[in-house]
Chain A
C-alpha cells in the first residue's frame, strides 16, 4: 500500500486557475446587494476553494480511508461546535413567547 501517487503538474496548474477565478468571482459578487445570499455565496465559494486545496494540493483524494476519516472528522466536530453553540445564541430571542 504505497501511496506514492505522482500527479501531473497540469492538475496543479488547473486547480490554481480555478482558485484564482473563484477569488475573482467572490470579490465581484460582494459588490452586489443580494441580502442573505451574499454571505451564503461567499461561504459556498470558500468551501469549494478549500475542498479543492484539500483534495488536490493536499493529496487527500489519493490518500488512505483512514486519512479520509480524520479529515471528515475535523469537519464533523467543527459542525457540532457550530450547531450546538448557535442553537443557544440564535434562539435567545425566542424566550419571551406565550
Chain B
C-alpha cells in the first residue's frame, strides 16, 4: 500500500515514525542539542587546559595576550553577534514562510561569517610576521617568557582555529540551507532544517563569546 493511502494528507517532509511535524521538530531539536552537548565538552577540554596553564604561567600568558589586537577582536565579536541576529531573523522569516526574506537573511549571515574569517586571517598573518607561530621560528620578548608564551600561542591557534573550522562548516551548512530555500523546500509548516542550523550557528557564536574575553581581555590592563 502506498504511504499516501495510509496518511492521505500528510506533509511530504513528515517522516513516518512521527505523529506530526511538531513531534518531528521536537525530536530534531533534541537531537541537535545532544550533539551540541558533545561540542560543549569538546571545546570545554580546551578551555580547561587554557585555564590550568593560565594559572600556572600567569605572567607569560598576560604578556602574550598583549600581542593580540584588541580592536580586531572587538570588531569580530560585533560581527559575529550581528550574524547571530540575522540568523535568528532568518529562522523567524522561515517560520512565517517568507521565502525571499529568509534567503536575504541567510546570505547576510554568510557574508558576516566570511567577514569574521577575513579579519581572523588578517590577525593570523600578523602573527606570522611577528614570529608568534609556535615552532622553530617562534620568537618572543622578553625571552625568559618565550617558552610559556609559546604555550599561549599554541592554545590560541588551537582554539581559534577550531572555532574558525566550525565557522567554515557553518558556511557550508548555510549554503545548503540557501539551496533548500531556493528550491522552495522550506515553508511555515516545515522549517526544521533552518531551525537546527540556527542552533549550530548560535553555538559557534557562544564559543567566541567565551574565547574573546579569555584570550584578548583578561589581564589587559597590566
Complex interface residues of chain B between 62 and 97 (CB less than 8 A to chain A): 70, 74, 77-78, 81-82, 84-85, 87-89, 92, 95-96
Choice from A9, A38, A75 contacting B219 with Cβ under 8 Å: A38
Contact A42 B213 (CB under 8 A): yes
Complex interface bits, A1-42 against B, C-beta within 8 A gives 1, otherwise 0: 111101101001101100110010011001111100011001
Partner-binding segment picked from B17-25, B114-122, B143-151: B17-25
Give the distance to chain B from A93, nearest Cβ to Cβ, in Å.
10
Partner-binding segment picked from B4-12, B33-41, B132-140: B33-41
Choice from B40, B85, B89 contacting A78 with Cβ under 8 Å: B40
Q: B209 in the interface, Cβ–Cβ < 8 Å? A: yes
Contact B29 A38 (CB under 8 A): no
Give the distance to chain B from A27, nearest Cβ to Cβ, in Å.
5
Contact A27 B81 (CB under 8 A): no
Give the distance to chain B from A26, nearest Cβ to Cβ, in Å.
6
Known: A4-B95, A23-B74. A42 touches B81 (CB 8 A): no
Residues of A in contact with B (beta carbons under 8 Å apart): 1-4, 6-7, 9, 12-13, 15-16, 19-20, 23, 26-27, 30-34, 38-39, 42-43, 45-46, 49-50, 53-54, 56-59, 63-64, 66-67, 70-71, 73-75, 77-78, 81-82, 85-86, 89-90
Residues of B in contact with A (beta carbons under 8 Å apart): 20-23, 25-26, 29-30, 33-34, 36-37, 40-41, 44-45, 48, 51-52, 55-56, 70, 74, 77-78, 81-82, 84-85, 87-89, 92, 95-96, 195, 198-199, 202-203, 205-206, 209-210, 212-214, 217-222
